[in-house]
Chain A
Amino acid sequence: KNQVEQSPQSLIILEGKNCTLQCNYTVSPFSNLRWYKQDTGRGPVSLTIMTFSENTKSNGRYTATLDADTKQSSLHITASQLSDSASYICVVSEFSGGYNKLIFGAGTRLAVHP
């Protein structure tokens, strides 16, 4: 069964610190992997999209990595800010039946404290 698992489930860090969120997946055939940020009560916002051939992609203080061989991805947040407090969702795209089907992880809830 195609699955996306994220860890940790939740995380508390101090403002200014770095952190890394993990995503493991069993989706096949793989099309791409996405990271989204979702503030409470808002819609998710795309951070990065990586295809099979890309192993790192940055968006400001966010850097995503992808190891397609081990089917693992990480999202590294540098110099965290209070506004980084949100849920971070890993989404893997499965190419099936001629179209891409998105499979969502449950998310990591990050709290940044002053």
Chain B
Amino acid sequence: DSGVTQTPKHLITATGQRVTLRCSPRSGDLSVYWYQQSLDQGLQFLIQYYNGEERAKGNILERFSAQQFPDLHSELNLSSLELGDSALYFCASSTGHSNQPQHFGDGTRLSIL
């Protein structure tokens, strides 16, 4: 158990809809990361937050947004969903220090019909 909790585990919705994925980091971790993993693809970094502030941005679409709240949990919002957005979305957390590991949740599987 990594200590990172992601909800929901599965989400099925239709094109054009909007969804929110939630992540609770490991106790004591200040940094949260979001990743997308499409079928049989590598992990693609989306965005990182540190103690409530956006720290780094990767290949995140304009239709996607995220935030980290004062209690350090984070939400990833996906809007105007397209078929190609179907993927596993992982959240990871770390202390934020450079040589510390990221601890991953088990992901949210998003299916767009």
**Chain A interface (Cβ < 8 Å from any Cβ of B):** 31-32, 34, 41-46, 49, 51, 89, 93, 95, 97, 99-102, 104-107
Contact = CB atoms under 8 A, between A and B. Distances in A.
A32 B42 contact: no
Contacts, number: 52
Chain B residues touching A, range: 20 to 34
A107 to B, nearest CB: 6
A46 B101 contact: yes
A43 B56 contact: no
B64 interface: no
A89 B103 contact: no
Contacts of B107: 41-43
Contacts of A104: 42-45
Main secondary structure, interface of B, reads: loop
9 contacts: A31-B98, A31-B99, A34-B101, A41-B88, A43-B2, A49-B99, A49-B101, A89-B42, A100-B98
B85 interface: no
A99 B56 contact: yes
B55 interface: yes
Contacts of A41: 88, 106-107
B105 A43 contact: yes
B10 to A, nearest CB: 11
Contacts of A51: 99
Contacts of B45: 101-102, 104
B99 A106 contact: no
